Amino acid sequence: MNKFVQSAVALLAIPFAVASHAAEPPSPAVAVDLYLKTLVNHDEQAIQQLNDYLRADRLRSGRSADYANAADLKKADEEFPGEVAKMAQKLFPAEQQQALGAPLTALMATVQQARQKSECKVLESDKPAMDQDVLTANVKFECALVKAPETWVEGIQRLVRTKGTLADNLSGLKQLQAGYAIPLNFTYQGTFGVSMVPKDKNEAWRNDFAREPVDQMFEAL
């Protein structure tokens, strides 16, 4: 189960119990740009460039060659709407669940599309600093996001609490979906840290917990 699906399950449950092969390593800002395009947009070119960039250090440290797999991400993208819809269906009355399956899947597909059309850019990088053999840099970034009037989690929870008719819930899901089918309307600014260990002959800036700043960004919505 991918990280986004895991987060979705947890949220629903709350109230119910680089240039490729560059000769010189990219700056911290360029590395962060590739991470953002990989993790936020699932951009295939960025995935390839990030894998190329990190590969030597990953192999040197005994890890798998690639950081991300475009085919796996694509498969997860395809499965995500249906997986979350099936979980959300169970929150509604049994007699409504079958009829709500398709609208819930359509809602989650729109949520996913809104997330992946986010536009991120790197603003500036602090001067790298050495601490106990680890060279670290903090890179400030900004993303234009879709901020719906009501989050899909809050909306589904509200519909379940109100115990409406099937017609009420179909209408409510349609309204929630429309809330995500809007232009980018919210600006988020955050910090993305990257590091390397020169004494280990590292050549790439990396963040072994790179999903955390991305998850924090979407949680802010």
Q: What are the structural domain ranges in the chain?
A: 3-219
pLDDT of 140-164, one tens digit each?
999 999 999 999 999 999 999 999 9
pLDDT of 101-129, one tens digit each?
999 999 999 999 999 999 999 999 999 99
pLDDT of 4-30, one tens digit each?
555 555 555 444 433 344 334 468 999
User: Could you give the percent of the chain with pLDDT greater than 70?
Assistant: 88
Of residues 4 and 213, which shows the higher confidence score? 213
Rg (CA), the chain: 20
Counting every residue written for the chain, the total comes to: 221
Mean pLDDT value across residues 50-69: 95
Chain center to CA of 162? 30
Q: What is the pLDDT of residue 1?
A: 57
Total-model pTM: 0.85
Query: Alpha carbon of 149 to those of 179, 187, 214: distances in Å?
Result: 6, 15, 21
d(CA 36, CA 34): 5
The Cα diameter of the chain in Å comes to 65
Question: What pairs with residue 144 in β-bridges?
Answer: 119, 187
